[in-house]
Structure 1
Amino acid sequence: MLRRELLLAGAALATLPSLAARAVPQDVLVYSYPRNVGPLHPHGYAPNQMFAQAMVYEPLVRYVEGGRIEPWLATGWAVSDDGRTWDFTLRQGVTFTDGTPFDAQAVKANLDALVADKAQHGWLELIAQIQAVEVTAPDRVRLRLNDPYYPVLFELALIRPVRFLSPAVLARGEAGFAPVGTGPWRLVETAPGEHDRFVRNETYWGSRPAFAELLVKVVPDPNTRALALETGEIDLVFGSDQLSAMAFQRFAADPRFACAVSPPLASRNLALNSGRSPTDDLKVRRAILHGVNRQSLVKNVLLDLEEPAETLFARNFPYTDVPLEPFAFDRALAQALLEEAGWHRPEERAMRARDGQPLELDLCFVGSDAVQKALAEAVQAELRAIGMQARLVGLDESGMTARQQSGEFGMIFGDTWGAPYDPHSFMSGMRVPTHADFQAQSGLPMKAEIDRRIGEVLVETDEAARRDTYAWLLTILHEQAVYLPISYTTSSYVAGPRLKEVGFGPTVNEIPFESFRPSSAAL
């Protein structure tokens, strides 16, 4: 299998002239990603890539490991007794890379733009809560909210959309857009299908990156990416979805490379569509959860690099420590549930049918994601064993987004977002059709009640009542078998010999390139 993997990588590499060998300056860090980073508007979504948005744009406050919020572009804040007014003091001496000062007017211009486009940002309750943004001094800004919304600081720390574009660019509109932020990196070149080039922000207010340039090569195929790393064409692969588990283990055994796996950061799930046959039947959804062996997936596909998941969220996030009975792997029970639902097998090992209709569904995944592809194939085999046919549908990122929003899926990967999103922001997004969750829950008889209670819990000031509401929500979603939990997602990296001091960011989508250092061999 390993020999075949390398042969495939070699064949793919031969078709990519952009990966031809060439000397790389010592102060250039070469990374790879499956696609271009996009236009990098701080308020935009796909095709904007989150890791790159976090390089160019900065938040008022920053989430740090352990669940704390620390000052960033805001140096301090105060909240009124009723929880509806927040005053922020801004860091002085910060400028955007076009020379425009970062001040209270810049914050107001960006937040006003977000509020004016509530339809696009409907998944994020903070935007709906903003009643007014007021400049109280050049370095002070006030947020007035409709309600005492408790996740304010967490949502101000998100990678998008509450980050700041130069107001000079913002005033020009979409036609005059350029990615101008206050962050440690500047995007200076994009070659579609080939690379994106970032350079160090020499006027950055904080610690400047050790590398003068970051070149992000577009390498869609994970086998090609592995070979490019091995041959020195790239210095770094970062993210658990960028290499197969087998390739990662091979690099981990090679002393030339530094490898690491992060602690659990989020949950890897498949969302089941309760509004579309055959998964509109609770018995079918429960049969799927009992029919897929998560322990086997983690052992044989993820090679034990992640831990098996039993519920939608790991229990170490706020309000998620709810006692729920896991759906244990039980193939006989899964088949019995399908029989009860009227899906019968004409003969052993045949696919099930009901009233002449085969028991089948679309299982959607990102085609360039090595891990999702391998997991989809394994889930397909597990479901075939109970008489269900899963048609694998590999899509690009925009295709996945379109399917999630339209509900054109039977099962689809819908991982949680990790800190600082889980559970509040992730669950807030369940109420609008921007991600898979809304469509996955659309057939539930209590969907309206779920949405109502999510809205209530986000502005609940009583801690006990808030905890009770979260417990109700998580219990209902679990019992209704809307999600197939697979594992608790980690991040990982493989660094080549030109790198040292590589580490993880505080969230799953942040790569702290600015803290990476070259090895002595690269100097």
Structure 2
Amino acid sequence: MSVRHRKTTTLMLVAILLLSVILGCAKQEDTPASTSMNGAANEKSITLSWPRDIGTMNPHVYNPSQLFAQSMIYEPLVSYKQGGKLEPALAESWTISKDGKTYTFKLRKGVKFSDGTPFNAAIVKKNFDAIMKNDKTHSWLGVVGVLDKTEVVDDSTFRLTLKEPYYPVLQDLSVVRPFRFLGEAGFPDDGDTSKGIKKPVGTGPWMLDEYKQDEYATFKRNPNYWGTAPKVDKIIVKIIPDSETRVMAFEKGDLDLIYGEGVISLDAFKQLRDTDKYVTKLSDPVGTRSLLLNSSNPKLSDLRVRLALQHGFNKQAMVEGVTSGLEEKADTVLSKNYPYTNVDLQPVGYDVEKSKALLDEAGWKLPAGGTVREKDGQQLDFELIFDKTDPIQKAMAETIQAEWGELGVKVNLTGLELTVQIKRLRSNQFDLYFWYNYGAPYDPHSFINVIAKKSFGISEVLSALPMKKNLDQQVHEALSSTDETKRQELYASILKTLQEQSAIVPISYIKKTAVYQKKITNFVFPANRDENPFDGIEIGK
């Protein structure tokens, strides 16, 4: 080969190598999540995983948007804090009229949306108007049903007027959706956000930076944020549907944090905790896992049968065994860390002999040589429906089936898709059903609301209670009372009735789990069940 040809070949090889390097860099730039995770040397980021896509980030609608992500971008007028304390957020103060029907909010001055446009009373009203156009979708929230009108008093003053007093207005306004605020640039041309938004524009500490559906989302700090800036630069959310894959990614160091309810199995949480390589935390109770005993079923309309069933299974052993001791046995339908729920109630304990005696007293007898109790030619049998994708529900259902079987009660198990399960709840087509209350900031007022209001399935469960009409009246009085002492008395009476009637059987207190790498510091569970946990979180040196 000539020298000239060798030089030409060498130059071509160099060119190919350079092109490969350039293409390699370009390819790396095409995966923003990877680039963000590596980041600049001085950029601090936290990577976590979520089982599903974050959704459209519309603050005024529900699924598929994910609550934790919505709460990063959008803020409420009022924030819910530990112990049920309500603190200023976008409203720096508020006044309530003596009749409890008029709420006047002084808005925080100098607040801007992430695009630099001002936050003011006009945009607050525009958001309220958009939400109330779709009021049927939001009717589960009590304030929606009693809201009469909204007004712009001046640039920094907003007023809402109710048709009748409703004490939990501020709690309802603190929830993650729908009463959070979208900037003007996010509104569709017709103003109807129920159909979609143009882009997510909020006042919160974070803004969506990069997003690829079903793969990842990257959030960066909002440069126009009015409050204390986050201590990290970016939050990267990797979408990993499978919990085992999520754990493997965490152990490899690809994830810094696993957080939430049901994002990993309780067994996996315990195993990670036992390695002592990571930090693990359990939250205070965020909800109660209960079993509904549908009193509209003639067999369950008898209080003696309901009490017998509650006495007839070893709740403590079941909770410890199924949840690896990571949930607490629940003795009351609502835990005592909500407002108005610190009430002295008598637990219904495990007592097999008492259970058998109550069933005998109710006329349900074991026939000679039989295994299932009978009365008037009918067997004492029930169907327990559960979410077939939930291993905890399945294990608890099997335990209850076995223990009640020893009493002479036949339980048939039916695993269903969650959507079918919910449909059967709302149409009152079930005997036994696992149910969870809403948690903070929704409870206790949302809980008592659904025990009185039809169409959610819970009121129907209580339909055979002899004092149901009086119970519903007490709920209405509690929600509309402006007298704090009277309200506490009403809550105590409502909770006492529910405890004694055993139609809602408390099983365990659900907790959020968090597992994170030791470089993360200042992690705190938010008081609001649906908020993100990134306030104050830091990365150590």
Identify the TM-score tier after normalising by the shorter chain: 0.7 to 0.9
Correspondences of 1:14-29 after superposition (within 5 Å)? 24-25=37-38, 27-29=44-46
445 and 98 in structure 1: CA distance in 2 versus 1, 3 angstrom threshold: farther
Give ranges in structure 2 of 5+ residues lacking alignment. 1-32
* 1:446-483 deviation line (CA, Å, top 9, x unaligned): 44433332112111133343233222221222222121
Counterpart secondary structure, 2:425: helix
Q: Which residue of 2 aligns with 1:61?
A: 78
Are residue 484 (structure 1) and residue 512 (structure 2) matched?
Answer: no
Alpha-carbon contact 1:364-1:409 (below 8 Å) kept: no
Which whole-Å CA distance do the structure 1 matches of 2:211 and 2:296 have between them?
Answer: 41
Q: Which residue of 2 aligns with 1:393?
A: 415
Counterpart secondary structure, 2:207: strand
Q: Which residue of 1 aligns with 2:382?
A: 360
Alpha-carbon contact 1:306-1:487 (below 8 Å) kept: yes
1:329 CA displacement: 0.9
* 1:412-449 deviation line (CA, Å, top 9, x unaligned): 33222333322122212333356442343344454443
Q: Which moved more, 1:347-356 or 1:379-388?
A: 347-356
- Which of 320, 334, 350 aligns to 1:299? It is 320
Alpha-carbon contact 2:58-2:200 (below 8 Å) kept: yes
1:42 CA displacement: 2.3
Alpha-carbon contact 2:526-2:532 (below 8 Å) kept: yes
Q: Which moved more, 1:123-132 or 1:92-101?
A: 92-101
Q: Which residue of 1 aligns with 2:101?
A: 84
1:75 CA displacement: 0.9
Counterpart secondary structure, 2:291: strand
Alpha-carbon contact 1:124-1:428 (below 8 Å) kept: no
Which whole-Å CA distance do the structure 2 matches of 1:189 and 1:138 have between them?
Answer: 33
Q: Which has the larger Rg?
A: 2
Say what the alpha-carbon RMSD is for the aligned residues: 3.1
After the TM superposition, which parts of structure 1 deviate over 6 Å for at least 4 consecutive aligned residues? none
Q: Which amino acid aligns with 1:421?
A: Y
TM-score by length of 2: 0.82
Q: Which amino acid aligns with 1:458?
A: L
Which whole-Å CA distance do the structure 2 matches of 1:461 and 1:366 have between them?
Answer: 44
Which whole-Å CA distance do the structure 2 matches of 1:353 and 1:167 have between them?
Answer: 66
1:141 CA displacement: 0.6
Alpha-carbon contact 2:385-2:421 (below 8 Å) kept: no
- Which of 112, 130, 133 aligns to 2:129? It is 112
163 and 89 in structure 1: CA distance in 2 versus 1, 3 angstrom threshold: same
Give ranges in structure 1 of 5+ residues lacking alignment. 1-20
1:144 CA displacement: 1.7
Identical aligned pairs, as a percentage? 39
TM-score by length of 1: 0.84
Alpha-carbon contact 2:80-2:86 (below 8 Å) kept: yes
217 and 42 in structure 1: CA distance in 2 versus 1, 3 angstrom threshold: same
Counterpart secondary structure, 1:333: helix
Which whole-Å CA distance do the structure 2 matches of 1:435 and 1:57 have between them?
Answer: 28
* 1:92-147 deviation line (CA, Å, top 9, x unaligned): 23233354432101111222333343322222222222222111111111122233
Correspondences of 1:339-488 after superposition (within 5 Å)? 339-341=360-362, 343=364, 345=366, 350-351=371-372, 355=377, 359-365=381-387, 367=389, 369-386=390-407, 387-396=409-418, 398-433=419-454, 435-488=456-509
Q: Which residue of 2 aligns with 1:499?
A: 520
22 and 166 in structure 1: CA distance in 2 versus 1, 3 angstrom threshold: closer
Alpha-carbon contact 1:69-1:154 (below 8 Å) kept: yes
Q: Which moved more, 1:405-414 or 1:154-163?
A: 405-414
Q: Which residue of 1 aligns with 2:22?
A: none
1:506 CA displacement: 1.6
* 1:467-514 deviation line (CA, Å, top 9, x unaligned): 332222212222221211122333221102453332211222223224
1:260 CA displacement: 1.5
Alpha-carbon contact 2:83-2:337 (below 8 Å) kept: no
1:59 CA displacement: 0.7
Which whole-Å CA distance do the structure 1 matches of 2:238 and 2:454 have between them?
Answer: 33
- Which of 52, 61, 81 aligns to 1:44? It is 61
Q: Which amino acid aligns with 1:150?
A: Y
Counterpart secondary structure, 2:106: strand
Which whole-Å CA distance do the structure 1 matches of 2:179 and 2:51 have between them?
Answer: 26
